[in-house]
Amino acid sequence: MNQCYSHAPEPFFRYIFEPKTDGHRLLFSQVDGRIRLYTRHETECTQQYPELLVPFDDDILLDGEVACAGPDGVDFEEVMVRFKASKDQRIKQLTIFSSYVCCVRHIAI
């Protein structure tokens, strides 16, 4: 099925709709209290998303998508800026002063 855009889903009971989230895949791994974040290609990106480093009570592996949402909706370019940031000071700036918030969707355990 080809992707298409619509302002609102059709009210038809045979379809399930989900908003498109424009981000990148993120694996959240917590083992023995240590949290690490990875892309689908197993590139570690723990440093880039410090606001997602909230521990669970037990070890867990979550598979989802991280996106940056702001006043105008989800912005793929903004999540790529975060993903490519490598210096601690730049990551801190992006985390604190950006109007975008990084969030994770489509979590599978």
Active site amino acids: 20
Residue type, position 18, single letter? E
CA 89 from centre of chain? 21
Q: What are phi and psi of 78, to 5 degrees?
A: -65, -40
CB 38 within 8 A of CB 24: no
What are the beta bridge partners of residue 38? Answer: 27, 44
How far apart (Å, rounded) are the C-alpha atoms in residues 23 and 36?
18
Q: How many CB atoms lie within 10 A of CB 48?
A: 22
